[in-house]
Structure 1
Amino acid sequence: MSCNASSISNPFAGPDPAEIRDINIHERVPVVLDATDSTYFAWKTYFSLLFRENNLVDHVDGTVDSRAMLDDSEWTAINATLIRWFFTTIFKDPFHTVVSDGDNARAMWVKLNGLFTDNKLQRRSIDEYCRRLKTWADELRDIGAKVDDDLLLSTLTVGLNEDYAMPPPTSP
């Protein structure tokens, strides 16, 4: 990254937003984050390296209060670029899980990482249970005994222990 005039006069100045915006994220992060743990470590590692290489760590590590930076056009431009990078490097399921209007790059980074680090054991148990149910439903469908979505959902929620059970849907 080249030095711009402000970084020469101010050694603490951040990166140039135009240079950050022009980074080809798919070359620098050649992994797409999906709902499984198999891509998470590589995805996070590539992003962590990219943040360090381009002096962007403070946008995601919480050391800078991003609310205090709302009037800084360079900060907000880089923040928007980071959010776009996250959106374009994750599959639809995690995207819909973490997207909230008004989130900054730090909030997105925390949410995305939380999907893969919070309650890992419980999540794996639920994932395995869901995979088994889906496999059974597919096997039944293959022999002509289709399982409708309502029955599958009912079976799913009945099989979860009380910590994960969802309340039954209510009629409108």
Structure 2
Amino acid sequence: MPRPSNCTYPITLSLDDGNYTSWRELFLVALGRYGLSAHVLGESTPSDIVPNSYWGRDDYTILSCLYGSVSVDLLNILEADFRNTPQGDLSISDYCAKLKALADSLGDVGQPISDETLVLTLLRGLNESYSHLHSFLPFQVSFPTFLQTQSAPIFEESQKKVDFKNAAGTALWACGQSVQPPPGGLQGTTSTNLQHILGF
């Protein structure tokens, strides 16, 4: 099956034009024309995926075609979203997943994000309560991976939730109630025994 020698398409994916549906259909047609549909739409990946294998060469062909059919403005917006997205109201897990998805999207269009950049972007975007992590995580003897880095704020977030529950239970007991808070704070407290704790 001949492979494309010219990856110029009549439609360039652009946010301004709102032409994703047309662009997608045309791109799928081009994949089918050159027998590359299974490479993108298939569920299995061969064991031999080195760059000089048939699969590897097809992969580079598709990436170059994809990259050539996406507007520069769209790539710039995607990269800006990745580098300037703060945690905000997201949980640590959701924030990490969002950053990873943006990084993967950039990689899919020929703009790979290194693991180190992913780590530094994560630390920069965390809320103020996690600012102390900036001081020591990047300066480990071995620079931490993204998975290693996200485990620290996830653990701290989980611990804060436990501390909050315990503090709430202790505060109720300190108000002069005769019933001590249940083990683990208010976790597992029903409406009935909560009324008893509050003296209702």
TM-score, structure 1 normalization: 0.42
Higher RCO (CA-CA < 8 Å; seq separation 6+): 1
Mark the structure with the bigger radius of gyration: 2
